Amino acid sequence: MAKKKTKFVCQECGYESAKWMGKCPGCQSWNTMVEEFESSAKQSSRSYVTSSATGGSKPQSIISIQSETEARISTTMLELDRVLGGGIVPGSLVLVGGDPGIGKSTLLLQLSSKLAETKQKVLYISGEESVKQTKLRSDRLGVSSADLYVLAETDISFIERAIDEVQPTLVVIDSIQTVYQEEITSAPGSVAQVRECTAAFMRIAKTKGIAIFIVGHVTKQGSIAGPKLLEHMVDSVLYFEGERHHTYRILRAVKNRFGSTNEMGIFEMKELGLEEVLNPSEIFLEERSTGAAGSIVVASMEGTRPVLVEIQALISPTSFGNPRRMATGVDHNRVSLLMAVLEKRVGLLLQNQDAYLNVAGGIRLDEPAIDLAIALCIASSFRNQITNPTDVAIGEVGLTGEIRRVSRIEQRVNEAAKLGFKRVIIPEKNLGGWTYPKGIQVIGVPSLERALEVGLGG
């Protein structure tokens, strides 16, 4: 009988080695190399990938292929539909990741209930809970539908048999780290098991046209546990974010083959489950203080949606040789750049000041249109001058102190007017070519110096 070969595989990145090492050369993680047996089922992933609806056919010219527009399946949850790009694409494989206890299972159980209420069969497979435990959670959430089927199983062969029997529109796997394939000798959750089981679900989704949602655990760094190949194999990767002790949750798409990756969905965790937040601007501004220096509102774009959030700054004299620069929700390097522009072009002596920046509400802003708001709140805190609480600032700041134009200015200003703001400071180049909404004053500024005169002195 042939001797079984062994190898050591990193459980973080999938790096393989013939001998054990304390530190993985691939991802530099310590004590992540686990011994696994090489199996003859290693070639199975290749067959899963190639045995699709077009597998084994001859190459075709792209102009000879007839395009078929298949309608997306609406989840009836507007926030989730927005993140997915307009609804669920039949035959797609979606990976949902997030911290423990953040609400991944709750979201997917509610999604299953919404689809089942529209007379579409849904199969919810739990590898972490029994059927009775899932029933208890569904009773708490008010989930009850005859078209929602529940299965507690971890063996992928039994799961595939159940899918063939039910013929569902949607399958939920909670979670991929608990599913195993019997031919593979390594434990569930290992790199080999995660890779092979995901490949099997991909084959099922593509050949049978069934949409499959997979829950993925995350590491302590916040990334999806298992090999990076897992994120490459699926069609969409969604991250469920938020603090466990706060009620608001943010759903982001970091990969989406069928839509934009800039969209964001916001939910609020309540006793009866997750509820959609259709107007997040009101949520982010509801606790804003109006009598303190170092605060201003900016209109930022999250995909196709304008969101108004408050940016706060605290500038204080440093007690150390090197002043501290801390930023939460914005790029730390961008804050240092804007402070250098303020010092060089406007004359604010900030080289001996500690700076602390924060975006209220826990949201992260990455676009350059927030530059002007950051500069205004830094100057407001440094001079201890209160900004007008009904002002909104939008604009990109250049290194020479100029205010550069930004995109989608009309949508940003309309959102500010809708929430009752009276004045908006925008780049001068954005003034023409669109209709201003009623009830709000639009002021164009060419330079950072002029913006400070308007925002802090006007």
pLDDT in tens, 433-447: 899 999 999 999 999
User: What is the per-residue pLDDT across 20-51, written as a single tens digit (0 to 9) for each?
Assistant: 999 988 888 888 888 877 655 444 444 444 44
Same domain, 167 and 315: no
The answer to whether residue 48 is domain-embedded is no
Domain match, 94 and 28 both:
no
pLDDT in tens, 244-288: 566 788 898 989 999 888 788 889 888 889 999 888 888 888 888
Domain boundary among 252, 278, 304: 278
- What is the predicted pLDDT for the residue at 50? 43
Q: Looking at 259, 278, 297, which one is the last position of a domain? A: 278
pLDDT mean over 297-321: 90
Is 221's pLDDT higher than 70? no
The last residue of a domain, from among 244, 278, 312 = 278
| Same-domain check for residues 97 and 84 | yes
Q: Bigger pLDDT: 83 or 362?
A: 83
Please check whether residues 171 and 224 belong to one and the same domain.
yes
Confidence (pLDDT) at 458: 54
Query: Is residue 51 assigned to a domain?
Result: no
Binding residues for ATP, as ranges, are 98-105
Summarize the confidence of residues 278-307 as an average pLDDT: 86
Provide the angle, in degrees to the nearest 10, between the axes of the packed helices 332-341 and 371-383: 60
Phi, psi (rounded to 5 degrees) for 233? -75, -35
Task: Say whether both 135 and 249 belong to one domain.
Answer: yes
Residue 412 counted as domain residue:
yes
| Per-residue pLDDT tens digits for 368-416 | 999 999 999 999 999 999 999 999 999 999 999 999 999 999 999 999 9
- List the CATH number of the domain containing 234: 3.40.50.300
- Measure the CA–CA gap between 445 and 429, rounded to whole angstroms: 8
Task: Please give the average per-residue pLDDT across 319-337, as a whole number.
Answer: 91
Residues 274 and 290 grouped into a single domain: no
**Interval 123-129 mean pLDDT:** 94
Per-residue confidence (pLDDT) for residue 48, from 0 to 100: 43
Residue 67, in any domain of the structure: no
Query: How far, in Å, CA of 248 to CA of 264, rounded?
Result: 13
Amino acid at 120: Q
Whether residue 63 is contained in a domain is answered as: no
Are 349 and 207 in a shared domain? no
Say if residue 293 is in the same domain as residue 429: yes
What is the predicted pLDDT for the residue at 260?
Answer: 84
Helix (H, G, I), strand (E, B) or coil at 273: strand
Name the more confident of 42 and 242.
242
Go through 52-83 and write b for each residue having 16 or more CB atoms within 10 A of its CB, e for each that does not: eeeeeeeeeeeeeeeeeeeebbbbebebbbbb
In percent, the amount of the chain with pLDDT more than 90 equals 59
Total domain count, the chain? 3
Of 47-56, 89-98, 338-347, least confident by mean pLDDT is: 47-56
Whether 256 and 303 map to the same domain: the answer is no
**Which residues participate in the annotated binding site?**
98-105
- Residue 356 is assigned to a structural domain of this protein: yes
pLDDT score, position 47: 43
In a domain, 141, yes or no: yes
Q: Is there a single domain that holds both residue 79 and residue 209?
A: yes
Task: Report the amino acid identity of residue 135.
Answer: K
Whether residue 58 is contained in a domain is answered as no
**What's the average model confidence in pLDDT over 114-136?**
93
**Which domain does 232 fall in, by range?**
74-278
Q: Angle between the 156-166 and 191-208 helix axes, to the nearest 10 degrees? A: 20
pLDDT of res. 2:
52
Shared-domain flag, residues 258 and 293 = no
Same domain flag for 259 and 294: no
Q: What is the CATH number of the domain that holds 369?
A: 3.30.230.10
Among 247, 242, 230, 209, smallest CA distance to 120 is for 209
Q: The tokens of 351 are what? A: 């080289």
The better pLDDT of the pair 137, 54 is held by 137
Cβ proximity of 285 and 279 under 8 Å? no
Give dist(CA 154, CA 178) in Å, integer. Answer: 6
Taking CB atoms within 8 Å and a gap of at least 24, the contacts of 132-136 are: 134/109
Task: Give the model confidence (pLDDT) of 150-187 as tens digits.
Answer: 999 999 999 999 999 999 999 999 989 999 998 887 88
Q: Minimal CA–CA distance to 112: which of 126, 100, 102, 98?
A: 126
> pLDDT tens, 329-381?
999 999 999 999 999 999 999 999 999 999 987 788 989 999 999 999 999 99
Question: In 3-state terms, what secondary structure has residue 377?
Answer: helix
Question: Which pLDDT value is given to residue 53?
Answer: 45
pLDDT at 16: 85
